[in-house]
Chains A and B, each alone.
Chain A
Amino acid sequence: AQTVTQSQPEMSVQEAETVTLSCTYDTSESDYYLFWYKQPPSRQMILVIRQEAYKQQNATENRFSVNFQKAAKSFSLKISDSQLGDAAMYFCAYRSNSGGGADGLTFGKGTHLIIQP
């Protein structure tokens, strides 16, 4: 079974600064996807960024980028130029590619990101 670990229950950053959220995972599979989701108080899970394990290049989406280290099974999220609207719970998630779409997500426990104005 796969596990996802987020070791930072809470992080705080000044507005406009950069913050990195950590995530490690454990799996015996070689083909999978990794995700970062944002969950604001509205409770809806919003996809922030996705990484395919077979791609060596780190994914980026505007101010969001990841540092994917496959050998170390590490998948951190960097948020540049933090904005007040970035405040939320952030979840790292793993999805196997062996089930052809039948596999759900395995989530970490989340990191609560606070943006200081």
Chain B
Amino acid sequence: GAGVSQSPRYKVAKRGQDVALRCDPISGHVSLFWYQQALGQGPEFLTYFQNEAQLDKSGLPSDRFFAERPEGSVSTLKIQRTQQEDSAVYLCASSLNQANSPLHFGNGTRLTVT
């Protein structure tokens, strides 16, 4: 595709439900990042993949958060037993594996936990 695609665009979940958010990066992009953006804040790093390897998951806020990228392309961010504080926009970004390569962002998924 032409850009990074994320789905769904909006997700409403009842507290305690599990959710799965999908990210389709730009074809050929080795690096993939997930960010969490709370209302009125800047995005905060969650986790990083290089191909299928999850090299950094230091930003995941709890063990309820899990991310995977099994074939080194599409990635899924899963949140188990959602809590109200999980309500945020979840952004995915991809780039070539070079420090000077810009990150290309998707439109994000807005998760609301009621």
Listed in ascending order, the chain A residues whose CB lies under 8 Å from chain B are: 4, 6, 33, 35, 37, 42-47, 50, 52, 91, 93, 95-97, 99-110
Contacts and interface: CB of A to CB of B under 8 A. Distances in A.
A45 B40 CA distance: 14
Interface range on chain B (Cβ under 8 Å from partner): 20 to 34
10 shortest interchain CB distances as A-B pairs: A107-B42, A45-B105, A101-B97, A43-B108, A97-B99, A44-B107, A104-B45, A104-B33, A101-B98, A109-B42
Nearest to A44: B107
Among A46, A97, A107, chain B packs the most CB atoms within 10 A around the CB of A107
Contacts of A37: 105
Given A43-B107, A45-B105, A100 B56 contact: no
Contacts of B95: 101
Interface string B33-68: 101000011111100101000011000000000000
Among A4, A37, A50, A108, chain B packs the most CB atoms within 10 A around the CB of A37
B103 A102 contact: no
B89 interface: yes
Nearest to A109: B42
